[in-house]
């Protein structure tokens, strides 16, 4: 008898098959039991009629607790009312493990309770939908760069130096020295771009963010391309192409999941290039016009980003921020050195910044000067300065935060559900 997965039942109509899974839910009406069986790929209703199975099997069905693991045999029958279009007429059933009383029931649970049971919560259809969209986004990102000839470069997680400011570093002992968990792979992909031209890294990054917001994780995944000879304009074009590609990819491949999440897809269908571009100066004016008390030179808070993004149908670039509020490596605009050639991409619908990118400083003296202004020790960054000594070229790159992108595409209020096991300011468990 063929062992099949629920998602492939349509290829086995009329056949007797085996399904290995867990009891998701069940109900009974005397002579008939309805067992909802999930196997990771989907849920199928198993129908067990008293007169068609042995009395032991029928009795076992009655005892099954939610999430007990079972192996079921049955005949695949088309049924228009069934979620996947098929149900299973059960012919036999074996118990693998009888589960204890399962803590997550169909009733409403609070978020903290669900987060405490994240290892079990992953079994629910909603979490499945989110994590499958996440998977699709990752695949889409990889395909996008692979098809364009970028080389994947894995960057270290244990690092000697900061990339994004020293206030959010996680520190750890490194024998007689200290190390920091990587905040970004950027400095290393810059080196790789000088070796390979077009590269990207994609891995976990770590920030001891003191902020407890719906957009911040302590551990998040970032995709960071870096391109030699690319300027600030090339950089923004690559960003809008990537984001549009990924959104359209999810719309094509994961529509069923977006439906489970009740996502309004009309807003996603709009996500095609070009994206609007506004300068930081204009953003400040727009905020002031909207009644926000903000002056030139201040950084935006989450609320400010939402106000700006709501003024546009598509994601919007804000470019040329004041140098004083941005990272040490960003190249000043030659025509206006008080601003840098950087951009943040703000997602629509209040999701805020999903990308931060910039053209990098290619002049060794200016880079040294910036490092000393930021109190960064030159010895630790000597190798990074070398990149400006041996064939320095204009180059640019950016970082796309995976979890914020998943939250936006799925339409979730908080990033905590976008990663299997979130690390939050108050949560390291499970
Ligand atoms: O700090 S960033 O704006 N930029 C960098 O790290 C650069 N070194 C990237 C580069 O040019 N190679 O972070 C980039 C993105 C940001 O837009 C968010 O989408 C995401 O990374 N991000 C976060 N997501 C979740 N939680 C936290 N704490 C977080 N911090 C940044």
> For residue range 418-429, what is the model confidence (pLDDT) as tens digits?
999 999 999 999
pLDDT at position 166: 86
Q: How many Cβ atoms sit within 10 Å of the Cβ of residue 254? A: 23
Per-residue pLDDT of 323-363, as tens digits, reads 999 999 999 999 999 999 999 999 999 999 999 999 999 99
pLDDT at position 326: 97
Structural domain span for residue 69:
6-97
Same domain as 283, residue 189: yes
What residues does 2 pair with on adjacent strands? 17
Q: Does 399 sit in the ligand 1 pocket, CB within 6 Å? A: yes
pLDDT at position 113: 97
Same domain as 27, residue 171: no
Mean local confidence (pLDDT), 69-90:
94
* Cβ–Cβ < 8 Å for 346, 309: yes
Q: Distance from the CA of 344 to the center of ligand 1, in angstroms? A: 10
Per-residue pLDDT of 391-403, as tens digits, reads 999 999 999 999 9
Q: Does 186 sit in the ligand 1 pocket, CB within 6 Å? A: yes
The CA distance from 252 to 268, in Å, is: 11
Secondary structure (DSSP) of 68-134: -EEEEEEEEEE-TTSTTSEEEEEEEEEEEEPPPPPS--SS---HHHHHHTHHHHTTSHHHHHHHHHH
Same domain as 331, residue 187: yes
User: For 85, phi and psi rounded to 5 degrees?
Assistant: 90, 0
Mean local confidence (pLDDT), 28-35:
95
Q: What is the CATH number of the domain that holds 305?
A: 3.30.930.10
pLDDT at residue 123 greater than cutoff 90: yes
pLDDT at position 107: 83
Q: Which atom of ligand 1 is nearest to the CA of 222?
A: 21
- Last-in-domain residue among 97, 127, 157: 97
Same domain as 304, residue 409: yes
pLDDT at position 335: 97
Mean local confidence (pLDDT), 367-376:
95
Same domain as 395, residue 253: yes
Q: Which atom of ligand 1 is nearest to the CA of 216?
A: 26
Same domain as 411, residue 361: yes
- Short-list 207, 175, 178, 205, CA closest to 189: 205
Tokens 């079994």 sit at which residue? 123
Q: Is residue 102 situated within a structural domain?
A: no
Same domain as 242, residue 123: yes
pLDDT at residue 82 greater than cutoff 90: no
Q: Which atom of ligand 1 is nearest to the CA of 211?
A: 28
- Last-in-domain residue among 97, 132, 164: 97
Structure tokens at 387: 């990149």
Q: Is residue 108 situated within a structural domain?
A: no
The CA distance from 320 to 30, in Å, is: 70
Nearest residue by C-alpha to atom 6 in ligand 1 = 184
Report which secondary-structure segment, H or E, holds 415.
none
Q: What is the CATH number of the domain that holds 19?
A: 2.40.50.140
Ligand 1 pocket: which of 183, 201, 220, 238 to mutate (most atoms within 8 A of CB):
220
pLDDT at position 317: 98
The CA distance from 143 to 152, in Å, is: 11
pLDDT at position 363: 98
Mean local confidence (pLDDT), 32-41:
97
Q: Is residue 104 situated within a structural domain?
A: no
Q: Is residue 78 situated within a structural domain?
A: yes
pLDDT at position 1: 86
Same domain as 149, residue 82: no
Domain count, the chain: 2
* Cβ–Cβ < 8 Å for 115, 416: yes
Mean local confidence (pLDDT), 163-192:
95
pLDDT at position 84: 82
pLDDT at residue 106 greater than cutoff 80: no
Same domain as 153, residue 37: no
Q: Is residue 106 situated within a structural domain?
A: no
- Last-in-domain residue among 66, 97, 128: 97
Q: Is residue 107 situated within a structural domain?
A: no
Mean local confidence (pLDDT), 314-331:
98
Report the share of the chain in percent with pLDDT over 70. 100
Same domain as 11, residue 148: no
pLDDT at position 105: 87
Residue count of the chain: 430
Q: Distance from the CA of 402 to the center of ligand 1, in angstroms? A: 9
Same domain as 365, residue 280: yes
């Amino acid at each position: 008898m063929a062992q099949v997965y629920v998602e492939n039942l349509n290829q086995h109509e009329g056949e007797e098959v085996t399904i290995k899974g867990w009891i998701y839910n069940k109900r009974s009406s005397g002579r008939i039991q309805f067992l909802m069986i999930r196997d990771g790929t989907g849920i199928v209703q198993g129908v067990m009629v008293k007169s068609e199975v042995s009395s032991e099997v029928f009795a076992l069905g009655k005892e099954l607790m939610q999430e007990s693991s079972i192996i079921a045999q049955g005949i695949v029958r088309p049924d228009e009312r069934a979620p996947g279009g098929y149900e299973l007429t059960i012919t036999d059933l074996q118990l693998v493990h009888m589960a204890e009383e399962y803590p997550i029931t169909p009733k409403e649970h609070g978020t903290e309770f669900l987060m405490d049971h994240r290892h079990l919560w992953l079994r629910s259809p909603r979490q499945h939908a989110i994590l499958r969209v996440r998977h699709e986004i990752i695949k889409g990102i990889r395909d996008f760069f692979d098809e364009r000839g970028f080389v994947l470069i894995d960057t270290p997680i244990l690092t000697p130096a900061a990339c994004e400011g020293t206030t959010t570093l996680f520190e750890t002992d490194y024998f007689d020295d200290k190390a920091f968990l990587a905040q970004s792979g950027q400095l290393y992909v810059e080196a790789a771009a000088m070796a390979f031209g077009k590269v990207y890294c994609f891995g976990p990054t770590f920030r001891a963010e003191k902020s407890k917001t719906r957009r911040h994780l302590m551990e998040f995944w970032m995709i960071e391309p870096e391109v030699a000879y690319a300027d600030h304009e090339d950089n923004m074009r690559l960003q809008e192409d990537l984001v549009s590609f990924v959104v359209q990819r999810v719309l094509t491949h994961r529509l069923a999941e977006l439906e489970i999440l009740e996502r309004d897809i009309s807003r996603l269908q709009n996500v095609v290039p070009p994206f609007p571009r506004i300068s930081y100066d204009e953003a400040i004016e727009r905020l002031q016009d909207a009644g926000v008390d903000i002056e030139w030179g201040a950084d935006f808070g989450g609320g400010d980003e939402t106000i700006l993004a709501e003024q546009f149908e598509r994601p919007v670039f804000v470019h040329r921020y004041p140098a004083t509020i941005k990272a040490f490596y960003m190249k000043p605009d030659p025509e206006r050195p008080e601003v840098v050639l950087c951009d943040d991409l703000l997602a629509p619908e209040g999701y805020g910044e999903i990308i931060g990118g910039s053209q990098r400083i290619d002049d060794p003296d200016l880079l040294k000067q910036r490092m000393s202004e930021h109190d960064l020790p030159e010895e630790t960054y000597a190798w990074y300065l070398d990149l400006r000594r041996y064939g320095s070229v204009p180059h640019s790159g950016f970082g796309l935060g995976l979890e914020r992108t998943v939250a936006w595409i799925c339409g979730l209020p908080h990033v905590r559900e976008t990663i299997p096991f979130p690390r939050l300011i108050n949560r390291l468990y499970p």
